[in-house]
Chain A
């Protein structure tokens, strides 16, 4: 019938300041809605609690008084708040304040405009300088590249000339026999010994 509740399903206010010692709520319990009432409850007439007329009258009077006072207080405070708001919005000082703000706003905007112009000029100069620099760099790069190409061409020409020189010593069918005889007559020896001081000894025993 009555279930103890605590934890997250309850607002914190009811947990922190409960009327009873344990927080309970009414719950349907064993019987559901459509079950008939018990035999022990047969003929039971539910009677509300009796009302005491004197007490009721006294309470009613006191309650009306209390409500009056509370409502009066509330309206007083409300009126005060509204008056303050009204004063702020359309009072005597409000116009001056608005004018001052407007002036301030105008001056700030003007200052902003000036700043913008100044920064614009600076930026334009900077951008132009950068563009010029990039142009210069590009030109320099082009020149460098051309130089590199020239050097490369020279290198290659040198190599070609060197190769042409060496080509005179190549072996062809005519000087094949001669070169074979030459080679067989001069055995080459690439072995040598060297010590820490750098003295080279080329005399070896070829066997």
Chain B
């Protein structure tokens, strides 16, 4: 199954409400047959620009990353559902790339050798 990442921006709320929104989101995912791998909090920060959504102007938001395994056909319906959720400012669904192997197969070894010239 392909691996996705939902980078969701929630409204700046109190802790129990944020927890409830997260719980709702994860349960939505699980209803559509996704296997949630992990949940990360990027903190509550100032948004890069003011976003208007659901008749509200937001300047701060809570960023969360949910990575999960899911079937490829849940994309549109999931985004649709999250658009309708009032607490969600911006949902973004991304695909996770396969990890780049750390073995050096070609080219010079990645060492900071030639950067001392302009120091």
Residues of A participating in the B interface, judged by any CB pair closer than 8 Å: 166, 169-171, 173, 176-177, 179-181, 183-184, 186-190, 196-198, 206-207
Contacts and interface: CB of A to CB of B under 8 A. Distances in A.
B41 A166 contact: no
A198 B66 CA distance: 31
A78 B28 CA distance: 119
A186 B116 CA distance: 38
Given A170-B35, A177-B23, A196-B115, A184 B43 contact: no
B39 A183 contact: yes
Given A171-B39, A173-B30, A186-B41, A180 B23 contact: yes
Interface of B: 15, 18-19, 22-23, 26-27, 30, 35-46, 64, 112, 115-116, 118-119
Given A176-B26, A177-B23, A180-B19, A187 B112 contact: no
Contact of A180 (B37, B39, B42, B45): B39
A189 B119 contact: no
Contact of B112 (A166, A189, A197, A206): A197
A178 to B, nearest CB: 11
A180 B38 CA distance: 10
Contacts of B42: 187-190
A77 B39 CA distance: 120
Contacts of A177: 19, 23
B40 A188 contact: yes
B23 A170 contact: no
Contacts of A183: 22, 39-41, 64
22 contacts: A166-B37, A169-B37, A171-B37, A171-B38, A171-B39, A173-B30, A176-B27, A177-B23, A179-B38, A179-B39, A180-B39, A183-B41, A187-B41, A187-B43, A188-B41, A188-B43, A196-B112, A196-B118, A197-B112, A197-B115, A198-B112, A207-B46
Contacts of A166: 37
A196 B116 contact: yes
A57 to B, nearest CB: 114
Contacts of B37: 166, 169-171
A171 B26 contact: yes
B16 to A, nearest CB: 10
A171 B36 contact: yes
A169 B37 CA distance: 7
Nearest to A191: B42
A7 to B, nearest CB: 77
Contacts of B112: 196-198
A189 B44 CA distance: 11
A190 B37 CA distance: 19
A166 B67 CA distance: 13
Given A176-B26, A187-B41, A188-B41, 15 more contacts: A169-B37, A170-B37, A171-B39, A177-B19, A179-B39, A180-B19, A180-B22, A180-B26, A183-B22, A183-B64, A188-B42, A189-B43, A196-B118, A206-B43, A207-B45
